């Protein structure tokens, strides 16, 4: 068995079925110990909300932690994010201007303070308003010629982040750093902010059986043999996918 780079979203992907999570944790920890595989969490959560979940669900320590939808990368439990990644993101990013442009839209309800990050401005936006508001917000932001993009997930969460940043680009950064080919890289997710994980390249993609409509729609338009839609939910779907791609004995 060769080492692999295992990257997973947390909410409703790794986490959501406690019994299967225990099993998957064992499989991953053993693969890391035996073959030097690497484990990465890629979540929309801030460091604060990540730590809450880690505690609550007894998550194993990752080799790298990608939080705030790819805008911060932490290695080995470090307190501060990787500086070379922050430097990439700071080009063309102006947080104050993003906040100012968004203030014109009363439909955008700011998320809690913990979720507002140096390279991430987040709101709640009701699904029924999103089709109208997202294009308007996009053109408003374009007036300022900002290097940004909008990521809408789960019919409620809106993140505004630097255009060079998402979970997928953070994973490409790690893949190059650790020298994993895409054939030995696995990415797992369930919702809109995971699309970039699947779209970035030819990584082996596992969509859990409970994937959200926005991800399923993208999948139906981008089917290939290196993307697998599992029938089981959450960690159970990940185990199913790892077997499908031949990553487990
Ligand atoms: C997590 C974060 C939130 C973000 C969402 C989608 O729930 O806490 O800020 O909007 O993921 O990326
Ligand atoms: Mg999720």
One-character DSSP codes across 131-163: HHHHHHHHHHHHTTT--EEEEEETTTEEEEEET
The ligand that comes nearest to the alpha carbon of residue 124 is 1
b/e 53-70 (16+ beta carbons within 10 angstroms → b): bbeeeebeebbbbbbbbb
Q: Is the pLDDT of residue 249 over 90?
A: no
Establish how many alpha carbons lie within 13 A of residue 163's alpha carbon, considering only the half-sphere containing its beta carbon. Answer: 10
The CA distance from 164 to 103, in Å, is 23
* Closest ligand 1 atom to 158 CA: 10
Q: What is the pLDDT of residues 198-235, one digit of tens each?
A: 999 999 999 999 999 999 999 999 999 999 999 999 99
User: Is residue 164 very low, low, confident or very high in pLDDT (cuts 50, 70, 90)?
Assistant: confident
User: Is residue 153 very low, low, confident or very high in pLDDT (cuts 50, 70, 90)?
Assistant: very high
CATH fold of 5-87+165-244, please? Rossmann fold (3.40.50)
Domain parsing of the chain, residue ranges:
5-87+165-244, 92-162
Of 20, 66, 9, 62, residue with least CA distance to 37:
62
Quick one: what percent of the chain has pLDDT higher than 70?
100
Element (H, E) at 75: strand 72-75
CA angle 152, 154, 223 (to 5 degrees): 80
Instruction: For the chain, give the mean pLDDT.
Output: 96
Distance 143 CA to ligand 2 centre (A): 31
The CA distance from 203 to 78, in Å, is 27
The ligand that comes nearest to the alpha carbon of residue 44 is 1
What's the confidence (pLDDT) of residue 1?
87
Distance 124 CA to ligand 1 centre (A): 9
**How many CB atoms sit inside 10 A of residue 123's CB?**
21
Q: Is the pLDDT of residue 76 over 90?
A: no
Alpha carbon distances (Å) from 65 to 44, 71, 75, 219: 11, 11, 6, 25
Alpha helices in 155-229, H assignment, sequence order:
167-178, 195-199, 213-221
The dotted CATH code for 92-162 is 3.90.1070.10
157 lines ligand 1 (CB under 6 A): yes
Report which protein residue has its CA nearest ligand 1's atom 11: 44
What's the confidence (pLDDT) of residue 16?
98
Protein residues placing their CB within 5 Å of the ion ligand 2: 9, 11-13, 190-191
Distance 184 CA to ligand 2 centre (A): 22
Q: Is 205 in contact with 229 (CB distance < 8 Å)?
A: no
What's the confidence (pLDDT) of residue 92?
84
Q: What is the pLDDT of residues 185-205, one digit of tens each?
A: 999 999 999 999 999 999 999
Of 191, 189, 128, residue with least CA distance to 154:
191
Q: What is the pLDDT of residues 83-112, one digit of tens each?
A: 999 999 998 899 999 999 999 999 999 999
């Amino acid at each position: 068995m060769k080492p692999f780079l295992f990257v997973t979203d947390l909410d409703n992907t790794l986490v959501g079925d406690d019994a299967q999570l225990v099993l998957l944790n064992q499989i991953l920890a053993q693969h890391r110990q035996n073959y030097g595989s690497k484990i990465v969490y890629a979540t929309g959560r801030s460091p604060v909300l990540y730590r809450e979940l880690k505690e609550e669900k007894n998550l194993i320590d990752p080799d790298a932690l990608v939080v705030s939808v790819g805008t911060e990368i932490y290695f080995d439990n470090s307190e501060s994010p990787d500086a070379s990644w922050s430097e990439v993101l700071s080009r063309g990013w102006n947080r104050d201007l993003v906040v100012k442009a968004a203030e014109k839209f009363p439909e955008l309800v700011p998320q809690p303070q913990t979720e507002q990050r140096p390279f991430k401005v987040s709101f709640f936006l009701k699904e029924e308003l999103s089709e109208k508001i997202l294009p308007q917000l996009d053109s408003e932001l374009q007036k300022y010629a900002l290097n940004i993009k909008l990521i809408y997930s789960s019919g409620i969460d809106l993140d505004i982040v630097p255009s060079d940043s998402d979970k997928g680009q953070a994973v490409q950064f790690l893949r190059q750093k650790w020298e994993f080919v895409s054939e030995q890289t696995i990415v797992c997710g369930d919702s809109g902010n995971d699309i970039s994980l699947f779209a970035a390249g030819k990584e082996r993609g596992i969509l859990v059986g409970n994937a959200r409509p926005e991800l399923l729609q993208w999948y139906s338009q981008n089917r290939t043999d290196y993307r697998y839609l599992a029938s089981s939910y959450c960690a159970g779907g990940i185990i199913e996918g790892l077997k499908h791609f031949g990553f487990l004995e």
